[in-house]
Amino acid sequence: MNLEHFLKSEAPGWMDDKGLDADIVLSTRIRLARNLEGYRYPLSFTEQEAKQIDGVVSQAVLNINNDKRIFSHFTIKEMPLLQRQVLVEKHLISPLLAKKEKSASVLLSSDETISVMINEEDHLRIQCLLPGLQLLETYELANKLDSHLEKQLPYAFNESFGYLTCCPTNVGTGLRASVMMHLPALTMSKQIKAVTQMLARFGMVVRGIYGEGSENLGNVYQISNQVTLGKSEEEIIDDLQNIVVQIIQSERGAREALLKKSKVVLEDRFNRSLGTLRYARVMTSEEAAACLSNVRLGVDVGIINDVPLSVLNECMILIQPGFVQQYAGTTLQPAERDIFRAKLLREKLNVNRQSSMEKGEEKYDV
Partner 1 sequence: MICEHCKDRQATVTVTQVVNGQKSERHYCEVCANKFHPFNIDFHKDEQIPIHQLVSNLFGLPVWNNAQEKLQATTQKITQCPQCGYTFRQFLNEGKLGCSQCYETFSNKLPQVLTKIQAGTKHIGKSPGRPTNDHTRIKKQIETTREQLLLAISEERFEDAAKLRDEIKDMERKLERGGVDAP
Binding-site positions for ATP read 27-31, 91, 125, 176-180, 207-212
- 211: contact with partner 1 by CB under 8 A: no
Nearer residue to partner 1 within complex by CB, 167 or 265: 167
Interacting stretch for partner 1, rule CB under 8 A, among 22-30, 154-162, 190-198, 245-253?
154-162
Which one among 6, 14, 39, 340 touches partner 1, defined by CB under 8 A? 39
CA–CA gap between residue 231 and residue 343 (Å, rounded): 48
- To the nearest whole angstrom, how small is the minimum distance from the Cβ of residue 70 to partner 1? 26
CA–CA gap between residue 314 and residue 163 (Å, rounded): 36
Nearer residue to partner 1 within complex by CB, 230 or 360: 230
- To the nearest whole angstrom, how small is the minimum distance from the Cβ of residue 223 to partner 1? 17
Interacting stretch for partner 1, rule CB under 8 A, among 140-148, 205-213, 305-313, 346-354?
140-148
- 37: contact with partner 1 by CB under 8 A: yes
Per-residue HEC secondary structure of 246-315 comes to HHHHHHHHHHHHHHHHCHHHHHHHHHHHHHHHHHCCCCCHHHHHHHHHHHHHHHHCCCCCCCCHHHHHHH
Nearer residue to partner 1 within complex by CB, 3 or 198: 198
- 240: contact with partner 1 by CB under 8 A: no
State the binding string over 156-185 for partner 1 (x if CB under 8 A, else -). xxxxxxxxx-xxxx-xxx-x----------
Q: Return the DSSP state at 77.
A: G
- 322: contact with partner 1 by CB under 8 A: no
Nearer residue to partner 1 within complex by CB, 157 or 327: 157
236 touches 228 (CB < 8 A): yes
CA–CA gap between residue 345 and residue 313 (Å, rounded): 12
Interacting stretch for partner 1, rule CB under 8 A, among 39-47, 177-185, 254-262, 306-314?
39-47
What burial class does residue 332 get, using C-beta atoms within 10 Å of its C-beta: 0-12 exposed, 13-18 middle, 19+ buried? middle
- To the nearest whole angstrom, how small is the minimum distance from the Cβ of residue 202 to partner 1? 11
Nearer residue to partner 1 within complex by CB, 173 or 356: 173
Beta strands in 132-174 (DSSP E): 157-158, 162-163
- To the nearest whole angstrom, how small is the minimum distance from the Cβ of residue 187 to partner 1? 27
> 72 to 111, contacts with partner 1 by CB under 8 A?
none
Interacting stretch for partner 1, rule CB under 8 A, among 80-88, 109-117, 139-147, 340-348?
139-147
Nearest to 62 by CA among 114, 128, 102: 114
Nearer residue to partner 1 within complex by CB, 44 or 333: 44
CA–CA gap between residue 366 and residue 364 (Å, rounded): 5
- 30: contact with partner 1 by CB under 8 A: no
Nearer residue to partner 1 within complex by CB, 174 or 218: 174
User: Around 26, how many Cα atoms within 13 Å sit in the side-chain half-sphere?
Assistant: 27
Using the CB atoms, write b or e for 43-73: b if 16+ within 10 Å.
eebeeebbebbbebbbebbeeeeeeebebbb
- Within 8 A by CB and 6+ apart from 27, the residues are 14, 15, 19, 129, 130, 131, 132, 179, 180
In terms of residues, how long is the chain? Answer: 366
Annotated binding site: 27-31, 91, 125, 176-180, 207-212
Applying CB under 8 A, the residues found at the interface with partner 1 are: 35, 37-41, 43-44, 121, 143, 146-147, 150, 155-164, 166-169, 171-173, 175, 203, 226-234
